[in-house]
Structure 1
Amino acid sequence: MQVGIIGVGLMGHGIARNVLKRGGFSLHFLDHPGNQPVDEITGLGAVACPTPAAVAAACDVVILCVTGSPQVEAIVTGKDGLVAGLKPDTVIVDCSTALPESTVRMGEIIKAAGGQYIDAPMTRTAKHAHDGTLNLLVGGDASVLERVRPVLASFTETVAHVGPLGHGHRLKLLHNYVSIGFMTLLAEAAAQAADADVDPQVFVDVLAGGGGASAALDRLAPYIVAGDREGLPFFVSNAQKDIDYYRAMAEASGARKPVADAVSAAISEVVEDGHGQAYVPELVRLFRKSVPR
């Protein structure tokens, strides 16, 4: 199986290295200025391609790992996009975080062009991508998933089939809303504790021993205690995007979203102040009364 990837960023780089090293597959990737350094993967035999169409023409499976729906739509339908180079029965695996309605539309376009489409967003971090232990939530035809499962196995710990096309992204947005919501709440509490000169280790220990124990605390504790942001290299701007995707999904279904609106407002203020490229743990600092520089 010839594998392609579009989006060799923080997550995609880990996927690419494991497709090559653990899976032993040939790999083509889109040459793009947003990529992480590609020396490692080219050293393992990965081949750069100038356009998405060129990636599609060379591959039986193409993994998308880009920011969101506008990027996915441009890759699929734009000039020299995937549709222009798609071979019959090629499977597109969308690991991005995208709007379910857009995902269904892209699936229909790829199917009309003779290919297959599944959404397979990730629920772990860049470190898990590097280690090849991501978890995927897959929406789409189960038989298509089985065809590409050997490729997915090279960079995952678990692969869950969660329903028809679009349900992977629906569940990813639900997951990220809860995860980002928890971390935003925790960052605000940690900032208030710091403003009140509460010992950060005591703050973390009290939460860990009670109702505050959580994955959110585990991820933010290194920053709260020691200023180490590297445990969660996820941009605040991407967190805002995911929350706003959740809000759009909720609005389309008529669901209530007052808490999501509040989380979005809190994060948006940070982004508007010029801190969109901060990592999420840094919200602990950015939420303080007087932001330490």
Structure 2
Amino acid sequence: MHVGIIGVGLMGHGITRNVLKRGGFGLSFLDHPGNQPTDEIIALGGRACATLAEVAAQADVVILCVTGSPQVESIVTGESGLAAALRPGTVVVDCSTALPDSTLRMGEVVRQAGGDYVDAPMTRTAKHAHEGTLNLLAGGAPKVLEKVRPVLGSFSEKIDHVGPLGHGHRMKLLHNYVSVGFMTLLAEAAAQAADAGVDSHAFVDVLAAGGGASAALDRLAPYIVAQDRNALPFFVANAQKDIDYYRAMSAAAGARKTVADGVSAALAAPVEAGHGDAYVPELVSLFRKNPGV
């Protein structure tokens, strides 16, 4: 199979290199200013394309790894969009974090164009993308997922089929609500501890030995004790976007979202203050009485 990739960013770069290096598939990618440096990708045999139509022209599988639903919708349905250029039988795999209702609409657009659609958002970090050990939450028809499983397996450690189309993104939003919610709560507690002069190592050790032990603590601890933000290169603005997608999904379902509203408000403050491109661990400083201390 020949693979097309749209979105060679922090996560997409790791996906792209593993499709080539571990999977051995032919690959084309959209040349875009938002891409990470693509020298390695080109050296491994990847081909840069100037347009979506050029990516679609030879692809059996097209992977989307962009910010969210507006970007996915623009790529799929926009003027000169992907749907108009797909070859019959092409499978579009959306690895972005998107709204389930939008995913269902995009799936129908692609079906009308003669293709198939799978939502397969990922959990874990850019480091795991680079290593090819992401976890994927796949929604869609089982036979379509099996068709693209060899490609997905080249950059993932685990692929969970979580239900029909849209359920991959629904599960991802549930996951990110819990994950980002935990980290936001922890960052606020760590900021209060720092303002009060609590020793940062003691703070981390006490939580790790008790009810605060968690993936959230593992990811924020390097920043809490040593201001190393790189354990989680995930922008605060994207974290807020994911929480707001969760809130929109909950509102559409008539579900409770009281805590989610609070997490969104906590994240909105640094974003509105111009810190949307800070990494999530930096919330520990941004939440202090004197932000950035």
Give TM-score scaled by structure 2 length.
0.99
- Is 1:192 matched with 2:192? yes
What secondary structure is seen at the aligned counterpart in 2 of 1:128?
A: helix
Is 1:278 aligned to 2:269, yes or no? no
Deviations 1:17-66 (A, max 9, x none): 00000000010000100000000000111011111121111100000000
Question: Does residue 35 of structure 2 align to residue 35 of structure 1?
Answer: yes
CA contact (8 A) 1:186 1:217 kept: yes
The one-letter amino acid of 2:23's match is: G
Deviation at 1:168, TM superposition (A): 0.2
- CA offset at residue 292 of structure 1? 3.3
Is structure 2 residue 180 aligned with structure 1 residue 174? no
Please name the residue that 2:263 is paired with: 263
Q: Does 1:217 align with 2:217?
A: yes
Q: Which residue of 1 aligns with 2:18?
A: 18
For residues 124 and 90 of structure 1, what CA distance do their matches in structure 2 show?
27
**Superposition pairs for residues 143-162 of structure 1, below 5 Å?**
143-162=143-162
Pairwise mapping of residues 1-293 of structure 1 onto structure 2 (< 5 A)?
A: 1-292=1-292
Identity of aligned residues (%): 77
1:86/1:113 contact within 8 Å kept: yes
Paired residue total: 293
Aligned-residue offset at 1:81? 1.1
Question: Runs of 5+ in structure 2 lacking a partner?
Answer: none
**Residue by residue, what CA displacement relative to the aligned partner does 1:113-139 show, whole Å, maximum 9, x if unpaired?**
000000000011000000000000000
Residue type of the alignment partner of 2:269: E
Cα deviation code 1:48-88 (max 9, x no counterpart): 11111211111000000000000000000112211121000
1:53 and 1:80 in contact (8 A); partners too: yes
Q: Which amino acid is 2:281 matched to?
A: P
- Conserved 8 A contact 1:99-1:249: yes
Q: Given residue 165 of structure 2, which amino acid in structure 1 is its aligned partner?
A: L
Measured in 1, the distance between the counterparts of 2:51 and 2:292 equals 43
> Are the counterparts in 2 of residues 23 and 154 from structure 1 also a CA contact under 8 Å?
yes
| Cα RMSD (Å) | 0.6
How many angstroms apart in 2 are the aligned matches of 1:52 and 1:205? Answer: 50
SS in 2 for 1:263: helix
**Closer, same or farther in 2 for the Cα pair 1:105/1:292, shift >3 Å?**
closer
- Mapped partners of 1:115, 1:51: distance in 2: 19
Contact conserved, 1:89 with 1:115, CA < 8 A, in 2?
Answer: yes
Question: Which amino acid in structure 2 is aligned with residue 134 of structure 1?
Answer: L
- SS of equivalent to 2:194: helix
Name structure 1 gaps, 5 residues minimum. Answer: none
After superposition, the C-alpha distances for 1:163-183 in whole angstroms (9 at most, x for unaligned) are 000000000000000000000
Structure-2 separation of matches of 1:212 and 1:245: 26
Is this contact kept in 2: 1:93–1:117, CA < 8 A? yes
Q: Which ranges of 4 or more aligned residues in structure 1 deviate by more than 2 Å? A: none
TM-score of the pair, normalised by structure 1: 0.99
The DSSP-based 3-state class of the residue aligned with 1:118 is strand
Q: Which amino acid aligns with 1:217?
A: L
